[in-house]
Chains A and B, each alone.
Chain A
Amino acid sequence: MSFGGGLAAWTRREVVQRRGWLDDPQFLSGYALSQLIPGATNVNLAVFIGTLMRGASGAVAAFAGLTALPVAIILAAGALYLHAQSNSAMAWLSGILGGMGAVAIGLSLGTGVRLARRNLRGVVPFAITAVVTTAIGILGLPLIQVLLVMLPVSLFAAWALPRR
């Protein structure tokens, strides 16, 4: 039951410190892998931990354990939403969802600010972020085109520039 982040720190406390399933270097390298592989970081991390502990069955168990309840909840919420759209309850529901949508956009932008303060050091990373933001967020270019150009650019910059 994780709302909006912070799960990795909690997972580390449970898996490394309290239960001793993995040691800290294992956990950290798994966390790095989970971020490098596309997809939800927490889900990837659960599959990583499950695989190291019990192989394929562990991976399936970890995946199911992490996603079963959220999927059930979102299915219920989705069914309610689709039902409400077809009757008069939608009038006030659309007000609430409009406000939640406006906040959800703010959460994305705020997450960007948080990540930027933690990750961006120097002019070149800032420029890369600005180009990606503009290309997709303002010009509306397809993600794959932007990634095909900007991932190599960013890799080259990370390799060529001294670490700050």
Chain B
Amino acid sequence: MIATLLRLAALFGFLSMLAVGGGAGIIPDMQRAVVDRYQWMSATQFLDMFAISRAAPGPGSLIVVLIGLKVAGLLGAAVSFLAMFAPSCLAVHAIARTWHNAARSRWRPVLERALGPVAVGLTFASGLALMRGTEHEWTAWTVTGVSTLLFSFTEINPVVLLIAGGSIMLLIG
């Protein structure tokens, strides 16, 4: 039990420091660790949890609470939550008061522009990795394709899309 909690803390604490550009980029590594390395769940269960975390309010990184809950109960959920959020929150808290002066330096726009293309790539990669990890049949491909297009080019609410996708697959699956 203690060993599992330590593993959760180490995994999510490490990933939290790599969560540049909002946090979607750590999903492929998280999937590999949770599904392949520790075999805590199947790839399908991981995708289930990813979908639940997208449908629920709050940041998508709350998926770590679901993983912790499955692996080690409420204590696992608490440890995972703290490991995921404490490092970045402490960093922001430490820098917040002095940041305003640093923010005017000429490095800030360079940093922001540098992060952009990397963050975009990480976002695409997380979608691709989830697709590779699970068996995607033609119906699922279609749902993924249509929702990609709708979310790219319209202002449709993501939760509406999630509910629609779930209903469609329930009816035809």
Q: Measuring CB to CB, which residues of chain A are less than 8 angstroms from any residue of chain B?
A: 1-5, 25-26, 29-30, 32-44, 47-48, 51-52, 56, 59, 63, 66-67, 69-71, 73-75, 77-79, 81-82, 85, 92, 94-116, 119-120, 125-126, 128-133, 135-138, 140, 142-144, 147, 150-151, 154-155, 157-159, 163
Contacts and interface: CB of A to CB of B under 8 A. Distances in A.
Interface residues of B, number: 111
Contact of B25 (A52, A95, A136): A136
11 contacts: A70-B59, A73-B56, A78-B52, A101-B130, A101-B140, A102-B147, A107-B151, A111-B151, A133-B121, A143-B15, A158-B110
Contacts of A155: 110-111, 114
B14 to A, nearest CB: 8
Given A4-B158, A132-B125, 16 more contacts: A3-B57, A3-B159, A33-B99, A38-B88, A39-B16, A39-B85, A43-B85, A63-B85, A74-B65, A81-B48, A97-B52, A100-B163, A108-B130, A112-B120, A151-B118, A155-B110
Interface string B131-148: 110101001110111111
Contacts of A78: 49, 52, 65-66, 69-70, 77
A97 B166 contact: yes
A98 B173 contact: yes
B119 A115 contact: yes
Contacts of A129: 117-118, 120-121, 124
B35 interface: no
A106 B146 contact: yes
Contacts of B23: 38-41
Q: Interface SS of chain A: helix, strand, loop or mixed?
A: helix
Which one of B17, B26, B113, B149 has the highest number of Cβ atoms from chain A below 10 Å of its Cβ?
B113
A159 B109 CA distance: 9
A42 B88 CA distance: 12
B43 to A, nearest CB: 10
Contact of A154 (B17, B60, B66, B114): B114
Given A3-B157, A70-B56, A106 B143 contact: yes
Which one of A78, A99, A157 has the highest number of Cβ atoms from chain B below 10 Å of its Cβ?
A99
A3 B131 CA distance: 23
B123 A128 contact: no
Counting from the closest, the 8 A-B pairs by CB-CB distance are A70-B58, A132-B121, A99-B169, A39-B88, A110-B151, A106-B147, A137-B128, A137-B125
